[in-house]
Amino acid sequence: MVNHVDLDEPFVRDLTLADFPFLASLAASESAYDRRIWLRVAIDHFVAVEPKDPDAQERFSDVVALQLDSAGAATRLEIARRLAPCARTPARLLKKFESADSEAGDYMLERAVAYTDHDLEQAVARGGRHAVAVAKRKNVSPQIVCALAARDEVDVLVALASNGSARLEGGMLVDLLLRARTLAEQAGDRRLADSLLQRRPLAPEGAALFLCAKPGQRVDILLAAQRLQLGRPRAFAPPIQQERLDELELAAVARKPERFVAILAEALDCDPELARRIVDDASGEPLAVALAALGASNEVLVRVLISNDLSAGASYQRIRALARLNNALNRNAAIAVMAALRGETAALRRSQSLVDTTAPAQPRAAKARMATKPFEPPQRKAVS
């Protein structure tokens, strides 16, 4: 009589390899090399079989956890790499790696596919290296991105911003940009700003970092703002306020820097401190963009730059380059950059109604403008 063989069942039924006495004996060997062999074989078998029986998984977890306690860091990392692609890796083993070894635990948090979003949220809540590892995961869910973006840890935010697969948009992105600007300007920490500016494609919202960006990054920002305006008629830009431009030129020629800053702040509808930073930037690029936003001609730009720079020994080659920038930059793109520097959201700049040209000018405080609020992740109900 021939016994029926179910080809769907694995030949080795015991996940701890108890069906093979020689292999099973290696688990109890005093030799670390023998125990390492058992771990390799047992893990490879588990990954190949992907057992569905919870009891079998628990027994397997018990034995492997004991082996991991006595294994070296290199062995734990090797086992983590073998288990990470397995969707049925028991939650207990995931926790074991997290608590037993920083490198292997971080590897699992970054790559293991068996984690649920709830598990990852718990890891993010622990902060530190756990949250950093989660921030590096590929195709992380929006729910986890929200939890990471809400952390007040620069390392976590830098890891998130450096993850090109993580979707950063809307209020979350604006909040990260403003935090990056504060870190760069007040603490001298450019890591978050650089990570956000290196994302591709660069979001138009990145213009919020224009003042603290490096020369190459500023080019990327202006190109992104320019692309956003492709196909849009210049009619959306507000009319040129020639009187203000004349006042700016007169203040520059008369060497009245305080007056120049005050007029520029009023013309750009921004805080005097922002206007001062625009004027004081040694490259002249922010001032060139600001004047382009106001509709200044090349002649006005050159006269203002020369008047401001004569005492410092102006480089005429640099002034010519800035004049070319003024000529090439779409005015709406320049307006968008200024709006981002004022902290206005992308939604306002993308509405194709940057300024209501039919309405009289109003003070900044009186304008109905979308306020940039700190990003807050959605609240989750407590799990009982």
DSSP string, 294-330: TT--HHHHHHHHHHHHGGG---HHHHHHHHHHHHHS-
Short-list 70, 61, 125, CA closest to 88: 61
Break the chain into its structural domains and give their ranges: 21-115, 235-366
Please choose, from the candidates 197, 189, 225, 192, the residue with its C-alpha nearest in 3D space to the C-alpha of residue 213.
197
Is residue 371's pLDDT more than 60? no
Burial (CB count <10 Å: 0-12, 13-18, 19+), residue 382: exposed
pLDDT at 233: 58
Spatial CA neighbour of 268 closest among 341, 219, 327: 341
The band of 115, judged by pLDDT with boundaries at 50, 70 and 90, is very high
Residue 85 DSSP code: T
Q: How far apart are CA 297 and CA 305, in angstroms?
A: 12
CB 365 within 8 A of CB 269: no
Instruction: Give the confidence band of 305 by pLDDT, cuts at 50, 70, 90.
Output: confident
Of 216-220, 307-311, 341-345, minimum mean pLDDT range: 307-311
Q: Tell me: pLDDT of 29 over 70.
A: yes
Share of the chain above pLDDT 90, in %: 44
CA 117 to chain centre: 20
Per-residue pLDDT of 40-90, as tens digits, reads 888 888 888 877 878 888 888 888 888 888 888 898 999 999 999 999 898
What SS3 state is found at 374?
Answer: coil
SS3 50: coil
Residue with tokens 């959605």: 378
The C-alpha torsion from 15 through 19 and 20 to 24, rounded to 10°, is 60
Closest CA to 177 of 147, 202, 142: 202
Q: What pLDDT, on the 0 to 100 scale, is given for residue 205? A: 87
More confident residue, 89 or 352: 89
The three-state secondary structure class of 53 is coil
Token output for 257: 């820097």
Query: Would you say 121 and 134 are in contact if contact means Cβ atoms under 8 Å apart?
Result: no
- Look at 162-171, 277-286, 340-349 and tell me which has the smallest mean pLDDT: 340-349
Longest dimension (CA), the chain: 111
What is the rounded distance in angstroms from the CA atom of residue 10 to the CA atom of residue 312?
Answer: 81
Residue type, 381: K
Cα angle value 235/239/243 (rounded, 5°)? 165
Which tokens belong to 141? Answer: 């869910």
The contacts of residue 175 (CB under 8 Å, 6+ apart) are: 149, 372, 373, 374, 375
6: left (phi over 0), alpha (psi -120 to 50) or beta: beta
> What value does the mean pLDDT take over residues 234-252?
80
pTM of the prediction?
0.75
H-helix or E-strand containing 335?
helix 331-341
pLDDT of residue 231: 64
* Helices and strands (DSSP H and E) totals, the chain: 21, 0
Chain mean position to CA 74: 31
Higher-pLDDT residue of 231, 168:
168
